Structure 1
Amino acid sequence: MNFREFATKNVQRNAKAYFAYFLSSTISAALLFSFTMIILHPSFKVSILPKYLKNSLYMTTIIAYLFLSFFVFYSISVFLKSRYKEFGILYILGSSKRQVQNMIRVENMLIISSSAVAGILLGVIFSKILLAASGKLLGYDALGFYIPGKAMAITFAAFIIIGIVISASCSFIIKEDKVLSLLKGTKKPRPEPKASVILVTICIALLTVGYFLSITCSEKTITYRIIPVTMMVVVATYLLFSQLSVFIIKLLKKNRSLYMKKTTILWVSNLLYRIKDNTRMFFLITITSTVALSAVGSVYAYWRDKESQVDSSFPQAFFYSNVYDNKAKVDMKTDFIEKLLKNENIHFNKVSGELKFVMPDDGKDEVVIISEDNYKKLASTLALDVNSFNENEALKDVSLIGDKRKSISFNNIQLKVTEKSEKKVLPAVFEAVYVVKDAVYERIQGVNIYFGALNVKNYKGTLSICKSYNNAFTLDDGNKYYRNFLKANILESTKFAYGVILFSAIFIGLIFFVTTGSFLYNKCYMDVIEDKKKYKQLNKIGLTYSEIKKVLNIEIGVLFLLPYVVAVIHFSFAISSLKYAFDIKITVPALQVIGTMLIAQIIYFVIIRKNYLLEIKKSLLL
């Protein structure tokens, strides 16, 4: 038997030990193949997408591939470390460093290539369901089945490259000069973990400040707060597992009435070491789970709320504006749409008028002013009442930027800002809009803009008219004064754009969720080897299986659910910032995302727990 046959036989003989690594790699390959298969579908024309959507898909692919590479490397490193004794024995028997590395390389390439093939087959089996579901999400009736030869080749080549790179990196994990440590394995005496009061205080302070900044942000401040808040929470999360958790468990130990009660002494002591030893894994799982939850939750909240967003941001079915010198062009567009609406017997309300772009005397952001008469005309098409105000006042239109001016001055005309209107009347792109009396409007100098607007009861039925308009005015690009808003067209584009982004977010979320679940599986596989010996000894001195089961339920539950609970708390504050900054309805989508992930996590926990307890029970019967 040559060394290559020895490596192959080793995989076959230890199929159970290799299964965790093989399974996680297979699922990763299936996910990468499924994503590639969908974006390469003949009906999904990526080339015609806007640049930002194409970049979103490309970035998703890059993130997925890099994370999968890291995950496979992490899995193999955990797996190799669980075989320290085996490698130590091989070195003692005379195997060279090169032979051991060659054996690892052959084993690794065998598993990687097998998992790539298995993942592709898994993706093909479920391709019909995946194509139908993703087609609906992306705005197609359904994406038909096709032979994804290119996706197969890309996935297989990608995993072979991962295998080659990881095989070359194995020499940094297993070294010949550590035979003694290999033989000792993970049995190294460890001092009791300690916690620093200063670091615990910093952790609590960072979390408090980070959460406070999240729920108090506005649309203007959210951009500046994202990075510092993220850094605070990331650092605090690491300190939470490395310091705060140890501090809390040590407080439990000081409560002697609780600590000395039955099996509590066992699981509390075990948790002290388990959490400290797994700090990096808990930290990694928490951050990746938070990213997955935030990505899916925030995009899903936007996607679910897209119609109400379009309704509030674009009140009229058709709205277009231009500088006043181009009044004739605006009227021509009104006549064009009016004719099409009449041909389809669609009742409409028509308004035309003017507004001004004006720089306030304080030199801050440019604002829009509109006369009370023109504003009332627009409001009447929406069946809205306009609040009354005085000559020395300016009525504020609903603004998405949270303009908090109490007064404003134009050309030395000081106006007190009064209550905002009940609903936005002008498109949201006109951010800060003030309504003034007609006489005051005439006295204020600015850039005069002429607008035309038509409104219908069911704007969704005007998509064909929007397409006719776009065909007639193909080169109508526009600028800040020169606008074209076709509400049905905007809704259609928004649905498709959010569909693509949600598709990308769900895929990244699945990658993160599957890989973090596999991290826990690998960890349990390593722990069960030592736990078998430990609980066998405890069983001999009187600890019953039911008591062992109770202890392990707590330990495995903490291992699986603690990072998820922390991630959910992070996510709750992160997504709340959307509600406070953009007034997005996030409660229902957030609960749906959390619930879905929680159910999946509990199912995974129940399966792993059952297998773990079965392994422990078998060891007690030996």
Structure 2
Amino acid sequence: MNFREFASKNVHRNIKAYFAYFFSSSISAALLFSFTMIIFHPDFVKVDLPQYLIKALNVTTIIAYLFLFFFVFYSVSVFLKSRYKEFGILYIIGASRKQIQRMISIENIIISSVSAIVGIIVGIVFSKILLAASGKLLGFNALGFYMPVKAMIITFVAFVMIGIVISIFCSFIIKEDMVLKLLKGTKKPKAEPKASSILVIICITLLTVGYYLSITSSTKTLTNRIIPVTLMVVVATYLLFSQLSVFTIKLLKKNRNLYMKKTTVLWVSNLLYKIKDNTRMFFLITITSTIALTSIGSVYAYWRDKEDQINRDFPQAFFLSDIYDNKSKVDSKAGFIEDSLINQGIEYNKINEELKFVIPDGGKDNVVIIKEDIYKKLISMLSLNANFSKEDESLISNHKVKNIVLDNVEIEVVLKSDRGLIPTFYGEVYVVKNDIYEKITGVRGYFGAFNVENYQDTLNICNDYYNNFGYEKEDKYHNNLLKSRILRSTKVAYGVILFSAIFIGLIFFVTTGSFLYNKCYMDVIEDKKKYRQLNKIGLTYKEIKRVLNIEIGVLFLLPYIIAVIHFFFAISSLRYAFKLEIKVAAFRVIVIMLIAQIIYFLIIKKRYLLEIKKSLI
């Protein structure tokens, strides 16, 4: 048997240990293959995506690949440390450092290559379903099947490269001068974990402040709060596992009535060490799970609410504007749209009127001023109720209530409208009495607006419009806002971003699940000895099972529970800042991820208990 055969047989001999790593790598390869298969699909490539969406897809691929690299490195390094004794014995019987490194390289390349092949096969088997689902998600009809040769090559090469690079890094973990340490294995006497009261207080304070800032965010403050809140929660999460959890368990131990009750003394003592020992792993899983939940949940909420957003932001089906000097251009474009609507037999309402762009005294940004007569025409077009009647009354047509001064004329807001009169692109819109309107100077604008009962039927008119007039450079005065076209672009944009978020989220959940499996595999070796001894002095398998259910349950579900809490506050900031309905989206994402986590937990628990039960016989 040559050395290559020895390394190959070594993989087969350690198949149980490699199972989670191989399984997770295969699923990750299938996800990477599916993602590249879709973005290289001939029908998808033809779509003229905005540059920022193309960059988003490229960044998604890079993030996924870098995380896969980190996942493989972490998994392999943990597994290699569990084989300290094996490598120590190989050094003693004469194996050189070069041979050990070669063995590690062959093992990693075998696993990576086979994982890539299995992932590609799985991706091809389910490709029809994936193409249909992704096509709908991206706003297309079901994407047809094709032979994704390019995706196959990229996936296989990517995973082989991961195996080669990781082998180079991991070969430095095991050194010849560590023989004595290797022979001792991972056994080390452990001091009882300690917690700092000051760090516990800091942890609670950071979480409280971070959560408070999240749920009190507004549209203006959200951008400035994202980074500091994220840093607070990240630091607090690490302190939660390293300090607060230890502090809490020690408080639990002081309750002697509870602590000394049956097997409680056993699982509480075990958790004290396990949570402290696995702080970095818990921290990593919690943060990645939070990122996955937040990215999927927030984008899904926007994707699900996209039509309502469009209806709120763009009241009319067509809205064309420019400065008053270009009135003839606006009329020409409006005439084209009107002729198109007539030719297709679509009933419509039409308004051609003026407005003013004014910079308030002491302000920087334009506000729009509309006089009462035009306001009445707009609300009639939108089938809204008029509420602007008192002689001394002024109205602002959005949710904000802000008095302003224009040309030394104070505009006092008495009423506010929950519905916009013109697209929100124009910012704050003030409705004033006709005589006040004439007194205010500003940039005189002109607009043409059309409204129809079902604007989604006008997509072909929007396309014909751009084919006829082309894409013009727009600014705060000159705009061509075609609602159906905007909805179509929004569907594609949110679809691409949601597709990317789901892909990244799945990669995170699959790989973090493998972290937990690797930890369980390392623990089961020591737990077999421990519970065998406890069984001999009277602890039954039923009691052992109860203890392990709690321990493994905490190991799997605690990081997820913390991640869900982080996710709840993170996505709540969107609700308060943008008035976005996120309850249904958040609930669906949490339930789906929870079901997946519980299934994985039940599978690992069953295998774990089976190994313990075998050791007791």
User: TM-score scaled by structure 2?
Assistant: 0.98
Hey, what does 2:517 align to over in structure 1?
A: 521
Deviation at 1:404, TM superposition (A): 4.5
**Deviations along 1:168-219, whole A, 9 cap, x unmatched?**
1013321222222212222100100000000000000000000000000111
| Residues 576, 46 of structure 1: alpha-carbon distance in 2 compared, 3 angstrom cutoff | farther
Deviation at 1:529, TM superposition (A): 0.9
Q: Distance in 2 between matches of 1:389 and 1:179?
A: 90
Greater CA deviation, 27-36 or 475-484? 475-484
Out of 409, 414, 420, the position equivalent to 1:418 is 414
Q: Distance in 1 between matches of 2:181 and 2:392?
A: 83
2:76 equivalent to 1:80 = no
2:51 equivalent to 1:62 = no
Contact persistence 1:60–1:508 (CA under 8 A): yes
Amino acid at match of 2:497: I
Hey, what does 2:329 align to over in structure 1?
A: 329
Amino acid at match of 1:150: K
Hey, what does 1:440 align to over in structure 2?
A: 436
2:451 equivalent to 1:455 = yes
Amino acid at match of 2:520: C
Hey, what does 2:536 align to over in structure 1?
A: 540
Contact persistence 1:28–1:511 (CA under 8 A): yes
Amino acid at match of 1:158: A
| Residues 422, 11 of structure 1: alpha-carbon distance in 2 compared, 3 angstrom cutoff | closer
Q: Distance in 2 between matches of 1:421 and 1:108?
A: 64
Q: Distance in 2 between matches of 1:370 and 1:391?
A: 16
Q: Distance in 1 between matches of 2:372 and 2:175?
A: 81
**Deviations along 1:368-388, whole A, 9 cap, x unmatched?**
111111111111101112322
Deviation at 1:366, TM superposition (A): 2.2
Deviation at 1:81, TM superposition (A): 0.9
Hey, what does 1:32 align to over in structure 2?
A: 32
Amino acid at match of 1:257: N
Hey, what does 1:344 align to over in structure 2?
A: 344
Deviation at 1:601, TM superposition (A): 0.6
**Deviations along 1:350-376, whole A, 9 cap, x unmatched?**
111111111111224321111111111
Q: Distance in 2 between matches of 1:600 and 1:334?
A: 53
Q: Distance in 2 between matches of 1:580 and 1:13?
A: 55
Contact persistence 1:324–1:448 (CA under 8 A): yes
2:134 equivalent to 1:134 = yes
Hey, what does 2:187 align to over in structure 1?
A: 187
Amino acid at match of 1:338: E
Contact persistence 2:394–2:431 (CA under 8 A): yes
Superposed, 1:106-117 pairs within 5 Å as: 106-117=106-117
Contact persistence 2:73–2:170 (CA under 8 A): no
2:217 match: secondary structure: coil
Contact persistence 2:193–2:273 (CA under 8 A): yes
Hey, what does 2:5 align to over in structure 1?
A: 5
**Deviations along 1:79-102, whole A, 9 cap, x unmatched?**
111111101111122212111111
Deviation at 1:239, TM superposition (A): 0.4
Which sections of structure 2, spanning at least 5 residues, go unmatched? none
Q: Distance in 2 between matches of 1:14 and 1:338?
A: 73
Amino acid at match of 2:598: I
Q: Distance in 2 between matches of 1:252 and 1:422?
A: 52
2:491 equivalent to 1:495 = yes
1:584 match: secondary structure: coil
Deviation at 1:389, TM superposition (A): 5.6
Deviation at 1:393, TM superposition (A): 4.5
C-alpha RMSD of the superposition: 1.2
Hey, what does 2:384 align to over in structure 1?
A: 384
Amino acid at match of 2:214: S
2:44 match: secondary structure: coil
Amino acid at match of 1:203: C
Hey, what does 1:563 align to over in structure 2?
A: 559
Hey, what does 1:171 align to over in structure 2?
A: 171
Q: Distance in 2 between matches of 1:404 and 1:238?
A: 42
Amino acid at match of 1:287: I
2:345 match: secondary structure: coil
Hey, what does 1:101 align to over in structure 2?
A: 101
2:481 equivalent to 1:481 = no
Hey, what does 1:602 align to over in structure 2?
A: 598
Deviation at 1:391, TM superposition (A): 5.4
Which sections of structure 1, spanning at least 5 residues, go unmatched? none
Contact persistence 2:314–2:423 (CA under 8 A): yes
| Residues 588, 169 of structure 1: alpha-carbon distance in 2 compared, 3 angstrom cutoff | same
Superposed, 1:257-406 pairs within 5 Å as: 257-388=257-388, 390=390, 393-399=393-399, 403-405=400-402
Amino acid at match of 1:301: A
Q: Distance in 2 between matches of 1:195 and 1:389?
A: 67
Hey, what does 2:548 align to over in structure 1?
A: 552
Contact persistence 1:249–1:272 (CA under 8 A): yes
Deviation at 1:468, TM superposition (A): 1.4
Q: Which runs of 4+ in 1 moved over 4 A?
A: 389-393
**Deviations along 1:291-323, whole A, 9 cap, x unmatched?**
000010000000000010000100001111000
| Residues 613, 89 of structure 1: alpha-carbon distance in 2 compared, 3 angstrom cutoff | same
Deviation at 1:126, TM superposition (A): 1.2
| Residues 197, 51 of structure 1: alpha-carbon distance in 2 compared, 3 angstrom cutoff | same
User: TM-score scaled by structure 1?
Assistant: 0.97
Q: Percent identity?
A: 71
Contact persistence 2:318–2:449 (CA under 8 A): yes
Deviation at 1:434, TM superposition (A): 1.0
Contact persistence 2:314–2:424 (CA under 8 A): yes
**Deviations along 1:439-485, whole A, 9 cap, x unmatched?**
11111111111001011111111111111111111133321100111
Amino acid at match of 2:611: E
**Deviations along 1:502-524, whole A, 9 cap, x unmatched?**
11111011001101111111111
Out of 424, 427, 437, the position equivalent to 2:423 is 427
2:43 match: secondary structure: coil
**Deviations along 1:102-122, whole A, 9 cap, x unmatched?**
111111111111111111111
Deviation at 1:36, TM superposition (A): 0.8
Aligned residues: 617
Q: Distance in 2 between matches of 1:419 and 1:242?
A: 53
2:234 match: secondary structure: helix
Deviation at 1:525, TM superposition (A): 1.0
**Deviations along 1:389-448, whole A, 9 cap, x unmatched?**
65555311115xxx452x210111112122211311110101111111111111111111
Amino acid at match of 2:589: V
Q: Distance in 1 between matches of 2:287 and 2:159?
A: 25
Contact persistence 2:360–2:367 (CA under 8 A): yes
Contact persistence 2:321–2:330 (CA under 8 A): yes
Hey, what does 2:233 align to over in structure 1?
A: 233
Out of 480, 505, 511, the position equivalent to 1:509 is 505
Amino acid at match of 2:499: F
| Residues 222, 526 of structure 1: alpha-carbon distance in 2 compared, 3 angstrom cutoff | same
Contact persistence 1:30–1:119 (CA under 8 A): yes
2:607 equivalent to 1:611 = yes
Contact persistence 2:17–2:518 (CA under 8 A): no
2:475 match: secondary structure: coil
Contact persistence 2:300–2:585 (CA under 8 A): yes
Q: Distance in 2 between matches of 1:318 and 1:155?
A: 45
Greater CA deviation, 147-156 or 466-475? 466-475
